[in-house]
Structure 1
Amino acid sequence: MYKKILLPTDGSGYAEQEVDRVSRLLCDGGEVIILSVAGKITSSAFQRKNKIKKVNERLKREATEAVEHMKEMFDDSINVKTLVKTGFPAETINQVAEEEDVELIVISASGKSGLHKFLIGSVAEKVLKTAEIDVLLVHNN
């Protein structure tokens, strides 16, 4: 049983399986930290600053909605904290794990898919390879 578990989410449809795993692994009085990492678009010669600002606001809003949605899936007896950060997902997940002194990261094996996943690679795989703590990779069907 773990006292503090980090549960990253990208808002994909696999949250139920992750919530179930975390609920069973958390010790009495433990804490779950739900994290969503919003990407950030930077300005370029081809994009107008106000358009970029709107995209970044939307990404942050979607990340906030994702953590709140997942939080609602937990039983009220479980201590749940939500965080939304901006950055590169795998690096940010590992940074938060260290800052929050968590014992386990529970992450989905598949989330974003298609071309997006192909272009940026698998966040779960990067976390698995670079984390300095235990990682539970939840396979989804």
Structure 2
Amino acid sequence: MFERIVVGADGSEGSKAAVRVAAKMQKTCGSELLILTVFRHHSLLEGSMSMVRPDDPQNLDDSMRAYAKEVAEDAKKIAAEEGAEKIRAFVKGGPPARTIVKFADEHQADLLVVGSRGQGDMQGFLLGSVSHKVTSLTGKPVLVV
């Protein structure tokens, strides 16, 4: 039914639930499961004002990328615990909804799976959730968990 499933993972409980559901679907369909964690790029000004890991001289993007890798690997472990086998995890920088949709298009995904609420900030409250944006940006089926 589905050959390739993309699931967005941001470390929130909602995204962990989405990973579990996607893993069960992957196991049932024999699909390939692609886990995507997206981090937001920061400007030089934002980076210079950041207090993220002050003992670590990396710039903010490097710190965010490293954290995103941890989230992606954790999601991959969750999927494996659910019995999924064909799992790959990816990290990309950019606006979450657009990056998820672009990634799904580039990898010819048949289904996108996202949590209903992630770690969105006030911008998400004012402009809508990532899951809502994903559903409006793609013509592919989206399962919101």
Q: Which of the five TM-score ranges fits, normalised by the shorter chain? A: 0.7 to 0.9
Counterpart of 1:59 in structure 2 is 64
Distance 2:99 2:4 in 1: 17
SS of residue matched to 1:35: strand
Give yes or no for contact 1:71–1:82 (8 Å, CA) kept in 2.
Answer: yes
Distance change >3 Å, CA 32–CA 50, structure 1 → 2: same
TM-score w.r.t. length of structure 1 = 0.83
Give yes or no for contact 1:30–1:78 (8 Å, CA) kept in 2.
Answer: no
Distance 1:116 1:137 in 2: 20
Distance 1:103 1:51 in 2: 40
Can you give the 5+ residue segments of structure 2 that lack an aligned partner in the other structure? 53-57
Amino acid at match of 2:19: V
Aligned pair count reads: 137
1:38 aligns with 2:43: no
Distance 1:47 1:103 in 2: 37
**Deviation at residue 109 of structure 1 after TM alignment:** 0.6
Distance 1:12 1:125 in 2: 16
SS of residue matched to 1:73: helix
Name which of structure 1's ranges 82-91 and 54-63 shifts more when overlaid on structure 2.
Answer: 54-63
Alignment match of 1:96 (pick from 87, 93, 103) = 103
Distance 2:126 2:60 in 1: 19
Counterpart of 1:19 in structure 2 is 19
TM-score w.r.t. length of structure 2 = 0.81
Name which of structure 1's ranges 122-131 and 68-77 shifts more when overlaid on structure 2.
Answer: 68-77
- The one-character-per-residue Cα deviations of 1:13-44 (angstroms, maximum 9, x if unpaired) are 23442233213322454210000111111124
Counterpart of 2:73 in structure 1 is 68
Can you give the 5+ residue segments of structure 1 that lack an aligned partner in the other structure? none
> Taking every aligned residue pair, what percent have the same amino acid on both sides?
27
Amino acid at match of 1:118: F
**Deviation at residue 116 of structure 1 after TM alignment:** 5.3
Q: Which has the higher helix share?
A: 2
**Deviation at residue 51 of structure 1 after TM alignment:** 7.8
